[in-house]
């Protein structure tokens, strides 16, 4: 039930518009302009009620470790609207300060993934909004903190590892690959996770981390941990903002001891140590953003970090038909080899998305490159043996090369997997 300010449903709005419309006509036909205005209002009401752009959903989990209920913001790639294709599973981004960073990260992933020459894979985003930010995102408590308002970072990471991750994996279509992104205190948490919980994530993005915290406690500990731990298979990207006063440059703060430069000096000290000591197996890169401050550096760092971490992900096939018509170019072998390399990097079997395999096979088919089409369809079926669309496509291929019996066989196979009116029509036409 709604109160005085409740929004009417579309049905209620339509009813009200209709009644008022007839009332106006009974009063005077000359008031046509009012009717037009009213119709516009009706259309606007429908648009308000039904046309929404949504990028995610809000879920929640009761944490015994933190002794509180935590909301989580979830984005799942839209994937393919066409139900012909099989559902996919995705790697996961765990995003700290989720309430402020969720939209930008989701938008960036939507733009950079999902196409033939994607920069990175499509990924689920798990945004973790804050309740007590300083408590959760600081790994140690300064002796001056008598209120227990900080230093809960280890409990927070335990919540992610033992409660949040198992929940996400049980409810959502995840792959094993996991990434952690954090800014400021969140960047400090990213560094703590990398150093003390190295196996928890595959890749880490630390944005202008607060390495100054608690008299540089984690910074000092990191020099030992970077040397004694193995980081094989792990990637770290650190973004460094320009937090210096106007007129000061990086060379000026090397010997500075004031509190004004403590933040950036702490990050630069860590950056220099990593680059000098080259921790075992760590895939590392950093970048100083001279034109970005602590608040603006997030977006550009996330973009550069995704390009760095997934630098081997993009297939980069030609957009012209010249390469496809080249007799020496075997697209099936190239795709297969590429995704074997990507699988080795990601830690699980990564296949070219079914819709993209279908699109590339369709392109070859239209060019009448039937030998190459067959090679790609073999890869299609090997990769997605339960895809009715793959077998249906194979049936079309056999019709094109004049093998009626094989076409019948593959159409029948497609129908045993999934009923399709279109496939039935093609099969019945052949059986006639």
| Same-domain check for residues 255 and 327 | no
Q: Which of 259, 288, 309 is the last residue of a domain?
A: 309
The Cα 207–Cα 210 span in angstroms is 9
Report yes or no: 56 and 99 within 8 Å, Cβ to Cβ: no
CATH of the domain at 402: 1.25.40.10
Q: What is the pLDDT of residues 66-121, one digit of tens each?
A: 999 999 999 999 865 556 677 889 999 999 999 999 999 999 999 999 887 889 99
Q: What is the pLDDT of residues 273-303, one digit of tens each?
A: 999 999 999 999 999 999 999 999 999 999 9
The Cα 213–Cα 135 span in angstroms is 13
The Cα 373–Cα 332 span in angstroms is 9
| Same-domain check for residues 301 and 333 | no
| Same-domain check for residues 173 and 266 | yes
| Same-domain check for residues 366 and 261 | no
Burial of 251 (0-12, 13-18, 19+ CB in 10 A): exposed
Measuring CA to CA, which residue among 344, 352, 278, 364 is closest to residue 315? 352
Please state the three-class secondary structure of the chain as a single string: CCCCCCCCCHHHHHHHHHHHHHHHHHHCCCCHHHHHHHHHHHHHHHHHHHCCCCCCEEEEEEECCCCEEEEEEEECCCCCCCCCCCCCCEEEEEEECHHHHHHHHHHHHHHHCCCCCCCCCCCEEEEECCCCHHHHHCCCCCCCCCCCCCCCHHHHHHHHHHHHHHHHHHHCCEEEEEEEEEECHHHHHHHHHHHHCHHHCCEEEEECCCCCHHHHHHHHHHHHHHHHCCCCCCEEEEEEECCCCCCCCHHHHCCCCCHHHHHHHHHHHHHHHHHHHCCCCCEEEEEEECCCCCCCHHHHHHHHHHHHHCCCCCCCCCCCCHHHHCCCCCHHHHHHHHHHHHHHHHCCCCCCCHHHHHHHHHHHHHCCCHHHHHHHHHHHHHHCCCCHHHHHHHHHHHHHCCCHHHHHHHHHHHHHHCCCHHHHHHHHHHHC
Residue 2: inside a domain:
no
pLDDT at 192: 98
The Cα 216–Cα 239 span in angstroms is 18
CATH of the domain at 158: 3.40.50.1820
Long-range pairs, 16-24, Cβ under 8 A, ≥24: 17/41, 17/42
Residue 27 in this model has a pLDDT that exceeds 70: no
The Cα 334–Cα 125 span in angstroms is 30
Q: What is the pLDDT of residues 308-328, one digit of tens each?
A: 999 999 987 765 656 666 666
| Same-domain check for residues 303 and 418 | no
pLDDT at 40: 53
Q: Which of 261, 280, 309 is the last residue of a domain?
A: 309
pLDDT at 328: 62
Residue 380: inside a domain:
yes
Q: What is the pLDDT of residues 367-379, one digit of tens each?
A: 999 999 999 999 9
Residue 11 in this model has a pLDDT that exceeds 80: no
Mean pLDDT of the chain, nearest integer: 87
pLDDT at 54: 85
Q: pTM value? A: 0.83
Report yes or no: 372 and 330 within 8 Å, Cβ to Cβ: yes
Q: What is the pLDDT of residues 145-171, one digit of tens each?
A: 888 899 999 999 999 999 999 999 999
Residue 408 in this model has a pLDDT that exceeds 60: yes
Of 158-162, 189-193, 218-222, 243-247, which gets the smallest average pLDDT? 243-247
What are the structure tokens assigned to 329, written together? 């170019």
Q: Which of 309, 340, 360 is the last residue of a domain?
A: 309
Q: Which residues have C-beta within 8 Å of that of residue 399, sequence separation ≥ 6?
A: 407, 426, 430
| Same-domain check for residues 290 and 168 | yes
Residue 262: inside a domain:
yes
What are the structure tokens assigned to 141, written together? 């408590």
pLDDT at 255: 78
pLDDT at 31: 47
Residue 1: inside a domain:
no
Report yes or no: 42 and 14 within 8 Å, Cβ to Cβ: yes
Residue 62 in this model has a pLDDT that exceeds 80: yes
| Same-domain check for residues 240 and 294 | yes
| Cβ atoms within 10 Å of 32's Cβ, excluding its own | 11
Share of the chain above pLDDT 70, in %: 84
| Same-domain check for residues 377 and 427 | yes
Residue 315: inside a domain:
no
Residue 199: inside a domain:
yes
| Same-domain check for residues 64 and 14 | no
- Average of pLDDT values for 185-190? 98
| Same-domain check for residues 225 and 374 | no
What is the domain range of residue 246? 57-309
| Same-domain check for residues 167 and 132 | yes
For the chain, what is the domain count? Answer: 3
| Same-domain check for residues 18 and 87 | no
Residue 317: inside a domain:
no
């Amino acid at each position: 039930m709604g109160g005085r300010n409740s929004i009417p449903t579309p049905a209620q709005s339509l009813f009200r518009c209709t009644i008022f419309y007839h009332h106006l006509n009974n009063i005077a036909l000359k008031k046509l302009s009012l009717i037009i205005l009213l119709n516009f209002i009706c259309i606007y009401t429908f648009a308000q009620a039904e046309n929404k752009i949504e990028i995610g959903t809000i879920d929640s989990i009761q944490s015994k470790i933190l002794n509180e209920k935590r909301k989580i913001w979830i984005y799942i790639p839209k994937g393919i609207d066409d139900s012909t294709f099989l559902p996919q599973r995705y790697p996961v981004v765990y995003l700290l300060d989720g309430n402020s960073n969720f939209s930008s990260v989701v938008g960036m992933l939507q733009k950079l993934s999902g196409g033939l020459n994607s920069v990175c894979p499509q990924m689920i985003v798990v945004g973790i909004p804050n309740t007590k930010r300083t408590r959760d995102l600081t790994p140690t408590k300064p002796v001056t903190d008598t209120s227990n308002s900080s230093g809960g970072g280890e409990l927070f990471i335990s919540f992610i590892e033992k409660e949040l991750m198992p929940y996400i994996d049980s409810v959502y279509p995840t792959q094993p690959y996991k990434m952690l992104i954090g800014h400021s205190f969140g960047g400090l948490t990213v560094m703590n996770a990398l150093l003390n919980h190295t196996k928890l994530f595959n890749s880490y993005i630390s944005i202008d981390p607060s390495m100054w915290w608690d008299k540089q406690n984690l910074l000092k500990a990191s020099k030992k941990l970077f040397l004694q731990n193995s980081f094989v298979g792990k990637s770290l990207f650190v973004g460094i903002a320009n937090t210096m006063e106007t007129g000061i440059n990086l060379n000026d703060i090397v010997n500075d001891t004031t509190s004004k430069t403590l933040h950036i000096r702490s990050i630069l000290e860590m950056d220099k140590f990593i680059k000098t000591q080259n921790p075992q197996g760590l895939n590392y890169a950093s970048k100083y953003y001279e034109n970005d401050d602590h608040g603006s550096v997030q977006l550009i760092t996330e973009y550069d970090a995704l390009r760095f971490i997934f630098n081997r992900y993009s297939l980069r096939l030609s957009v012209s038909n010249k390469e496809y018509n080249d007799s020496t170019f075997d697209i099936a072998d190239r795709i297969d080899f590429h995704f074997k390399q990507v699988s080795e990097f990601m830690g699980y079997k990564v296949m070219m998305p079914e819709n993209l395999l279908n699109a590339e096979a369709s392109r070859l088919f239209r060019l009448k490159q039937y030998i190459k089409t067959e090679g790609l369809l073999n890869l299609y079926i090997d990769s997605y043996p339960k895809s009715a669309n793959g077998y249906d496509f194979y049936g079309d291929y056999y019709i094109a090369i004049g093998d009626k019996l094989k076409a019948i066989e593959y159409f029948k196979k497609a129908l045993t997997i999934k009923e399709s009116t279109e496939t039935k029509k093609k099969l019945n036409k052949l059986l006639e």
